[in-house]
Amino acid sequence: MAEPLLAAQGVSVRFGGLVAVDAVEFELGQGELVGVIGPNGAGKTTFFHVLSGVLAPTEGRLRIGGEDLTGRPAHVFALHGVARTFQTPRVFRDMTAEQNVRFGLEFAGRRRSHAHDAFDDARSILGFVGLGDAAALLAGALTPSRQRLLEIGMALGARPQILLLDEVAAGLTESEVEATAQLIRRVRDELGLGVIWIEHAVRALMNCVERVAVLHQGRKIADGLPQAVAQDPAVVEAYLGDSVA
């Protein structure tokens, strides 16, 4: 098998006595769309911090595109094609939407080649995520749901190979969630990126991804096809009997 885009090998994160992520094995292949779900406090966001270099793992190795980047700072991950969004949108509020997207293009994106027209410039990326009309608006003045789209645009500006999405559908209306799920599919289908999508609310995610991993108390308790995972007794128990799909 070819080298995976991203491989986490026995990754653990401990904060003092608390084990936030516990010996997780995880791989992402080229152009794969994978969901990561889990109850609150399962360690999803901490796991993302590790995958994007924001946080160094206490134990384990991280390989991006075959290269060991364990312990390297976040900008090195970005230069190796890892881009992410944050749970609460972190846009540059005092810059325009276009400047926000151009930021990624000026740094990580500048040193990375691009295969698709949508990556050409800030305007085309804004068009791709559906913010073509907002280019000149200040990011801070956009509605929270449009700020989430802008964050995806900023990440695309870094011309990544791997896109990490942290609860991009949280707080959206049902139709907005549907539109976001569609955008995520297009990121994979049209741009060919590998995508990992974390979500607390799982319904939309389960319908969209082709593989899903479940974190519970820092451990990966399931990893497989959405239908199979939804029926996994350990998963059902973790969600306290809530219907998963």
Partner 1 sequence: MSLARILALVCGAGALLATLPWIASDFGLSLVLTCVMYAGLAVTWAMFSGATGYLSLATAAFFGIGAYVTAWGFGTLPYAIVVPLGGLAAAAFAVLVGAAILHLRGAYFAVLTFGLGELVRHAITYFEKSYAHTVGRVLTDVPESWIVYLTVLTIAMAAIAVSAAVRASRFGLALAGIGADEERAQTLGVNTRRAKIAGFALAAFFAGALGAAMAVRWTYIEPNSVFNPFIGFQTVLIAMVGGAHTLIGPLLSSVVFSMLTEFLRLQFPYAFLIVLGLLLIGLVLYLPGGLASIWPLVRARLAALRARSASLERGGAGG
Residues binding partner 1 (CB under 8 A): 52-54, 73-75, 77-79, 83-84, 86, 90, 92-95, 103-104, 106-111, 154-155, 157-158
Tokens of 92: 């540059």
- Least Å distance, CB 228 to partner 1, is 33
The answer to whether 15 and 212 are in contact (CB under 8 A) is: no
If DSSP codes are grouped into helix, strand and coil, which group holds residue 206?
Answer: helix
Query: How far is CA 196 from each of CA 116, 154, 186, 199, 208, rounded to the nearest angstrom?
Result: 20, 16, 14, 10, 12
Q: Which is nearer to partner 1, 12 or 85 (CB)?
A: 85
Q: Taking phi first (over 0 means left), then psi (-120 to 50 degrees means alpha), and beta for anything else, what does residue 139 get? A: alpha
Q: Which is nearer to partner 1, 83 or 204 (CB)?
A: 83
119-122 own/partner pairs: CB under 8 Å, 24+ apart: 119/156, 119/159, 119/191, 122/98, 122/157
Q: Which is nearer to partner 1, 111 or 186 (CB)?
A: 111
- Least Å distance, CB 74 to partner 1, is 4
* Cα–Cα distance measured from residue 5 to residue 28, given in angstroms and rounded to the nearest whole number: 6
Q: Which is nearer to partner 1, 110 or 186 (CB)?
A: 110
Identify the CA nearest to 128 among candidates 190, 61, 215: 190
Q: Name the CA dihedral angle for 149, 155, 158, 161, rounded to a multiple of 10 degrees.
A: -110
Q: Which is nearer to partner 1, 164 or 235 (CB)?
A: 164
Q: Which is nearer to partner 1, 112 or 219 (CB)?
A: 112
